[in-house]
Structure 1
Amino acid sequence: MLDTHHKNLATFIHLSTFSRFFIPFGNFIGPIILWAANKDKSTFIDQHGKQAINFQISVLLYAIIIGTISVPFFIFKVFRNMDVLDFHGFNNFHINIGEPSPLLYIGGGLGALAVIAFIIELALIVKASLSARDGQEFTYPLTINFLK
């Protein structure tokens, strides 16, 4: 039987991932501390703690992959056309805007994908915390199970 304390702990494990906005790597530190201190109290807390930590590790891995793919597209575009800004003093100052490269579109698309993924991540964290509050099991989609 789940009591309110176990539901609250599982909810706070998920919500502690928002501490990353105040503490570097808070999205890992908060859930790990809460989960490690309380995982022996119930299997419900243990399951939600593992889900939260696995999801944060998976999101970090996906962000590294997207960043690794998208950064070269921007670098190739910047270094290919170095004459975008011509400065010949304040009397003859103009900006030369050329035709955008397909590489810029691909890099921008990957950047937009990263923003959309961030918004989905926030929504999933809120949904997981609400499921924990209600005493329901929750499994994050596309999560690699590092902790089983």
Structure 2
Amino acid sequence: MIAHLSALSGFIIPIGNILGPLVIWLIKREEMPFVNEQGKEALNFGISVTIYAVISWLLMFVLIGFLLFVVVGIFWVVVVIIAAIRASEGKSYRYPLNIRFVK
């Protein structure tokens, strides 16, 4: 659950949505298989959302990016909260639209 919620540190720290899950995953991956699995999911989602946000930012020059940027932000927060709830119940969660960089 902490790996998922740590992604919300992106509101405070630039690229915190990547750094938070990365730190949790690196520290706990050896001790807990569930944290290893969910930490990778959260890390991959942080990277994916950052890519989607950069693409949205680039598309702001043709105006559609403003809407996409807002949609990506709302999507990110909602999905992270859902993932944290599922993890707190002990259930695995796979993020939608997640590019799996770390396997």
TM-score, normalised via structure 1 length: 0.65
Gaps of 5+ in 1: 1-10, 74-106
Q: Check if 1:12 corresponds to 2:10.
A: no
**RMSD across aligned positions (CA):** 1.2
Between the aligned residues of both structures, percent identity stands at 35
Aligned length: 103
Tell me, in whole angstroms, the C-alpha distance in 2 between the residues paired with 1:68 and 1:112. 12
Question: Deviation at 1:118?
Answer: 0.9
Aligned residue among 80, 83, 93 for 1:128:
83
Aligned residue among 65, 71, 78 for 1:110:
65
Q: Following superposition of structure 1 onto structure 2, how do residues 42-121 of structure 1 map, counting pairs within 5 Å?
A: 42-71=32-61, 73=62, 107=63, 109-121=64-76
Tell me which structure has the larger Cα radius of gyration: 1
Determine the structure 2 residue equivalent to 1:35: 25
Residue type at the aligned position of 1:63: A
Q: Secondary structure at the match of 1:47?
A: helix
Structure 1 runs (4+) greater than 3 angstroms displaced: none
Residue type at the aligned position of 1:133: S
Tell me, in whole angstroms, the C-alpha distance in 1 between the residues paired with 2:72 and 2:23. 26
Tell me, in whole angstroms, the C-alpha distance in 1 between the residues paired with 2:60 and 2:23. 33
Q: Secondary structure at the match of 2:94?
A: coil
Superimposed CA distance per residue, residues 24-51 of structure 1 (whole angstroms, 9 cap, x where no aligned partner) = 2221221111110000112211110000
Give the structure with the higher percent strand. Answer: 1
Tell me, in whole angstroms, the C-alpha distance in 2 between the residues paired with 1:52 and 1:16. 9
Q: Secondary structure at the match of 1:128?
A: helix
